[in-house]
Amino acid sequence: MNNRKGTLAVAIALLAMVMLSACGGKGGGGSEDEAAGAKEVRVHRIGEAATLFDLKLTVDRIERTGEYNKQVLQPGTEFVLVHVTLENAGSGTRKYNSSSFELLSADGKPDLSVTTLNGEGELHIGDLAPGGKISGILPYEHPKNEAAMTLTFRPNTMSDQTIRVDLAS
């Protein structure tokens, strides 16, 4: 009986150590990215080119406005027009799509894209030949007076790799 209590105590102690090591320590309780050993993500700035999957992205400028293409704003928001240029830096044709972009607010949630079919100058969907270049507008509805904005570009939906551009700078 005494031997049984000792074995039970050792088993409980081992179980407690396993549980504590799983909850704490380096990497414990972290995100999936940390657990997978993800690399640090570089954040780019307006005017700085960044290339991923042979598509070179440059955010040329941003524009804040209360009116855009007869769209109606939600209370407490404004339109943010992100002017971008995409260039095919590869040797094959590359597809692009405005849905590969997201504008993130300070809370990390994506803003509402207000892309319209008749929006003149908007970036939509298409193919870029090698060396080809296209510029267009990505319109979003963003909280008014909130400076924090990050544009993300994920050109390959089969990959989690993204380009991040800080638009507050």
pLDDT for the residue 71: 86
pLDDT in tens, 26-81: 333 332 333 334 566 799 999 999 999 999 999 999 999 999 888 889 999 999 99
pLDDT for the residue 41: 78
Structural domain count of the chain: 2
Q: How many residues does the chain have?
A: 169
**Do 76 and 154 belong together in one domain?**
yes
pTM score of the predicted model: 0.75
Task: Give the separation between CA 12 and CA 149, rounded to whole angstroms.
Answer: 49
The yes-or-no verdict on residue 82 having pLDDT over 80 is yes
The yes-or-no verdict on residue 114 having pLDDT over 70 is yes
**Do 24 and 52 belong together in one domain?**
no
**Do 72 and 147 belong together in one domain?**
yes
Question: Can you tell me whether residue 72 is helix, strand or coil?
Answer: coil
**Do 69 and 9 belong together in one domain?**
no
CATH number of the domain within which 48 lies: 2.60.40.1240
Residue from 109, 106, 63 nearest 84 by CA: 63
The yes-or-no verdict on residue 14 having pLDDT over 60 is no
**Do 30 and 51 belong together in one domain?**
no
Question: Which residues constitute the domain of residue 134?
Answer: 43-166
Give yes or no for a contact between 43 and 166, defined as CB atoms under 8 angstroms apart: yes
**Do 15 and 50 belong together in one domain?**
no
Task: Give the separation between CA 83 and CA 138, rounded to whole angstroms.
Answer: 6
Query: Any idea which residue has 């100058």 for tokens?
Result: 121
**Do 31 and 47 belong together in one domain?**
no
**Do 98 and 51 belong together in one domain?**
yes
pLDDT in tens, 115-162: 876 778 999 999 999 999 999 999 999 999 898 999 999 999 999 999
**Do 9 and 52 belong together in one domain?**
no
**Do 11 and 76 belong together in one domain?**
no
